[in-house]
Structure 1
Amino acid sequence: MNKYFLAIDIGASSGRHMIGWLEDGKMILREIHRFDNHQLKKNGHLVWDLDHLWKGIIEGLKECKRQNMIPETVGIDTWGVDYVLLDEKGELIGDAVAYRDLRTEGMDDLISAIISEKELYEKCGIQKQSFNTIYQLMSQKEDDPEVLEKADALLMIPDYFNYRLTGVRKQEYTNATTTGLVNAGTKTWDKELISMLGLPQNLFGELSMPGTVVGSFTKEIQDEVGYCATVILPATHDTGSAFLAVPSRDENSIILSSGTWSLLGIENEEPITTEAARQENLTNEGGAWYRYRFLKNIMGLWIIQSIRRELNGTEYVEGRKSEYAGGKKYSFPDLIRLARGSEKFVADIDVNDELFLSPVSMINAIKVYCKAKNQPVPESVGEIMQTVYRGLSACYADTVKEIGKITGKEITYVNIIGGGCQDTYLNELTAKATGLPVYAGPIEGTAIGNLVVQMINAGLFKDLQDARNCIYESFEIQKYGA
């Protein structure tokens, strides 16, 4: 009888329950349940709808029972940086403000007056992004200090859902590193930094590594879903899980986890916190077994997703519909086809510009950027898409060069994993821009990496390399370029 394991993988736009098991030496996946994820406008901020996500989690657990695929263990991963606060009774205080909210504006200057960006990077090695948790917490300290004073615990989003399933609070290492408050050398909360910023020390406890058992479902959860399972920490930061799924055996290859965000980098045994790395805005995110992901966060398919929603007339949080929305509904293949048809259109955008982080209209943002840079302004859907694809592939190529220069490694090829690896046009352009072979797959990288930790814990794999060998044999990999 098969032993089943469940990865609950929640991204910025959707969540899904993926059951995994081994059969004839290969890993098999089945999607059990899928639910959407969205943000709400509440109390003047963009916030995550935690109640909706919780219902999606519970419904997926029930579906496992209905399909007679009851997992032995369950692991949850989500995006990084966002958190919740709990009071002494374990109840939520305030909302789970989303990273695309603008509350962190000006917080970088406030923190730089306390500790320079150079010193901060030397301590934590995390890429400067306006939405990092360190800036979110400083915003809360400035604007809502009574909430911080009442808080008894800080939990990242997957830590919170684990707590609701088991009644046990644990702060997982890989997600914690995205806060900008974990010391890259000691691999623990930097209490000196936390004290300098005036944040409550009691919110930062012991960090737990992937593979740690959180606990069993509470009786209440068991009664609701119809069975008991053990919750185990995967790399709860989705990028941390995704990187584990790369089947590469070449240490000079580079990894691109392609989804709403594009995470492009390599794995290191030690962090690189040099001034050169800081100037290139590269990050050292913590991984399972204390492996470091030396990478750059790139705006990624968020831009394409936003354009599609806008063209298809999806309502925004403000309750308005885009002026560009027409009668036609665009699929992603439609957008790729139109981009291919506009290959002669040339305009270059920096996809990491703050203008593209959370605009009301992504299409207008692209036009404003091009006009300000005295470039041709894209008008047709094809021209808009071609501009985005050019910007993404150029950024990938530049980042590959930056990482190769700083590490001294001669990058040999690119591994693309995650849902974005299905975008054949972007894969082709990436191969052309980097001048390197591109290997695309597996598609379900994050869920696979989540399952890898659970299966190693269960003794099905002896170590990560054993798991990667199995992944290589289990999933289709497509090659692009030379």
Structure 2
Amino acid sequence: MPVRVADGLHWDVLCLFEETKQGLVRAAGRRVESVGVDSWGVDYALLDRDGVLVSNPYHYRDTRTAGMMEEAGRRVPREEIYRITGIQFIPLNTLYQLLAMEGSPLLDAADRLLMIPDLFAYWLCGERCCERTAASTTQLYAAEGGWAWDLIRRMRLPERLFGEVVEPGTALGGLRPELREDTGLRGAGVTAVATHDTASAVAAVPARGQNFAYVSSGTWSLVGVETERPVISEEGLRYNFTNEGGFGGKNRLLKNVMGLWLLQECRRVWAREGREYEYGELARLAAEAPPFGPLVDPDWEGFLLPGDMPGRIRRFCERTGQRPPEGVGEVVRCVLESLALKYRWVIERAERVSGLRAETVHVVGGGARNELLCRLTAEATRRPVVAGPDEATVLGNVLVQAYAAGMVGSLEELREVVRASIPVRVYEPEEAEEGWDEAYGRLSELVGVASGELAEGGLV
């Protein structure tokens, strides 16, 4: 969870690193050859010339990036930014976080930028470098490889911040001596895995070939297809698709969908009101609620920040001419049906942009355990849904370490290990139900509703 202090939302990285160390202590006494760190993308740490943390890293949901996408567009045209980086325009990107720091003494004091997993790897072994899959989320990394130096200069960002970039599967070195002493892991090395958690998760998708879509489902849902090279086009820009690095030289063509964050925030608000719900109970209430009720666009920017999510959902529905959901079950049903339909919206456009046909949808991550969401996704997309593994990020992390150690030789072999090791559940779409096409039409109309119009109604 983020920590809110006077200047905004931050990550408590010292606490997170201490918990990481305690995890390593628990592994003492076992044969541990390698440690790999992955985390969410876009957030970063700044170090001074001595390698000391300048300040606690900001959280991507902090509001300081308001207006920064527009400022970036004044410095470099939006179309050119996309042509160079292939990255979607979303306020939380590293580019806009850094622009928000312009003139800050913290930025003046900084000598090197490390993404969050790179920071932890540095604290573990002393190597200061950025891993490619995490660097690719910054909107400052060129789609064809390497830092986008011309873009960095034109954005007036300090070039000194951007150091060496390494490939996933790179051995970085052994644990620092003090960590070997503290943890008892004297022989372990540190490996740069696919450090963006979605890159690790997609590496562990138990698919064959290319004709599949994936939904890495958790707080965010990352929905897309895997391609051999970045796919950068006017159509990709129009739909705001992103091209991020993947393991094995692959490209992840995807969109961020707000994901189960909506449900997590609803649950937090209900708990604060004295109504504690387990996720299983919420799924039961949603299953009992009538289908094809009100819908929301999960990606409306008003849902990005913490707050009264049930109230925002109701107000979104009111402002878009829908009957607001009543009761907990209807709110949850609204969220889950909206997510399933938005997955269909993204997958169809990913096919159009890439030229691929996604015959199967692989759902990995925590959302693979949500049976109702998986079933609704199969019905909404009219495709089989393969659910699992739910710990895909962990598996991808470990198997890239195995690749670095020479135990597996390719992405295809890695996925074969997953298929042979982890059971999955398949949800087949039932006979087409008329209500899905009508609901999809309504969802499609909601996508692209002007944020300004909704904000005027006090949704935020």
User: Do the two structures share a fold, i.e. TM-score over 0.5?
Assistant: yes
Does structure 1 residue 195 correspond to structure 2 residue 158? no
Aligned residue among 145, 148, 152 for 2:111: 152
What does the per-residue CA deviation read over 1:134-155, in whole Å, with 9 as the maximum and x for residues that have no partner?
Answer: 000000115x2x2212111111
What does the per-residue CA deviation read over 1:48-105, in whole Å, with 9 as the maximum and x for residues that have no partner?
Answer: 011210111010000011xx32410000000000001111111111220000000000
Does structure 1 residue 131 correspond to structure 2 residue 89? no
Q: Name the amino acid aligned to 1:72.
A: E
2:409 aligns to what? 462
Does structure 1 residue 243 correspond to structure 2 residue 243? no
1:72 aligns to what? 33
- Give the Cα–Cα distance (whole angstroms) in 2 for the partners of residues 116 and 92 of structure 1: 33
1:32 aligns to what? none
Q: Name the amino acid aligned to 2:55.
A: G
Does structure 1 residue 87 correspond to structure 2 residue 38? no
Structure 2 unmatched runs, 5+: 430-460
Aligned residues of 2:32 and 2:185 also touching (Cα < 8 A): no
Please report how far the alpha carbon of residue 379 of structure 1 lies from its aligned counterpart in structure 2 after TM superposition.
Answer: 2.3
Please report how far the alpha carbon of residue 440 of structure 1 lies from its aligned counterpart in structure 2 after TM superposition.
Answer: 0.5
Aligned residues of 2:171 and 2:404 also touching (Cα < 8 A): no
Please report how far the alpha carbon of residue 357 of structure 1 lies from its aligned counterpart in structure 2 after TM superposition.
Answer: 0.5
- Give the Cα–Cα distance (whole angstroms) in 1 for the partners of residues 152 and 248 of structure 2: 25
Q: Name the amino acid aligned to 1:237.
A: H
Aligned positions, number: 428
1:265-280 equivalence runs, <5 A: 265-280=224-239
- Give the Cα–Cα distance (whole angstroms) in 1 for the partners of residues 239 and 291 of structure 2: 30
Does structure 1 residue 41 correspond to structure 2 residue 4? yes
1:216-227 equivalence runs, <5 A: 216-227=174-185
Flag as ranges the 4+ runs of structure 1 deviating above 6 A: none
- Give the Cα–Cα distance (whole angstroms) in 2 for the partners of residues 231 and 410 of structure 1: 38
- Give the Cα–Cα distance (whole angstroms) in 2 for the partners of residues 479 and 463 of structure 1: 26
- Give the Cα–Cα distance (whole angstroms) in 2 for the partners of residues 256 and 211 of structure 1: 24
1:431 aligns to what? 378
Aligned residues of 1:209 and 1:289 also touching (Cα < 8 A): no
Q: Name the amino acid aligned to 1:200.
A: P
1:352 aligns to what? 299
* TM-score for the superposition, normalised by structure 2: 0.91
| Structure with a larger share of its residues in helix | 2
Aligned residues of 1:212 and 1:233 also touching (Cα < 8 A): yes
Give secondary structure in 1 for the equivalent of 2:400. Answer: helix
Does structure 1 residue 305 correspond to structure 2 residue 252? no
Give me the CA root mean square deviation: 1.1
Q: Name the amino acid aligned to 1:447.
A: V
Give secondary structure in 1 for the equivalent of 2:113. Answer: strand
Aligned residues of 1:345 and 1:383 also touching (Cα < 8 A): no
| Structure with a larger share of its residues in strand | 1
Q: Name the amino acid aligned to 1:205.
A: G
Aligned residues of 1:359 and 1:365 also touching (Cα < 8 A): no
Does structure 1 residue 341 correspond to structure 2 residue 288? yes
Give secondary structure in 1 for the equivalent of 2:46. Answer: strand
1:385 aligns to what? 332
Does structure 1 residue 331 correspond to structure 2 residue 281? no
Does structure 1 residue 168 correspond to structure 2 residue 115? no
Please report how far the alpha carbon of residue 332 of structure 1 lies from its aligned counterpart in structure 2 after TM superposition.
Answer: 0.4
Structure 1 stretch displaced more, 399-408 or 269-278: 399-408
Structure 1 unmatched runs, 5+: 1-37, 314-324
Aligned residue among 441, 445, 450 for 2:397: 450
* TM-score for the superposition, normalised by structure 1: 0.87
Give secondary structure in 2 for the equivalent of 1:93. Answer: coil
- Give the Cα–Cα distance (whole angstroms) in 1 for the partners of residues 291 and 212 of structure 2: 31
Structure 1 stretch displaced more, 229-238 or 363-372: 363-372
What does the per-residue CA deviation read over 1:386-421, in whole Å, with 9 as the maximum and x for residues that have no partner?
Answer: 110111011001111111112222221101111110
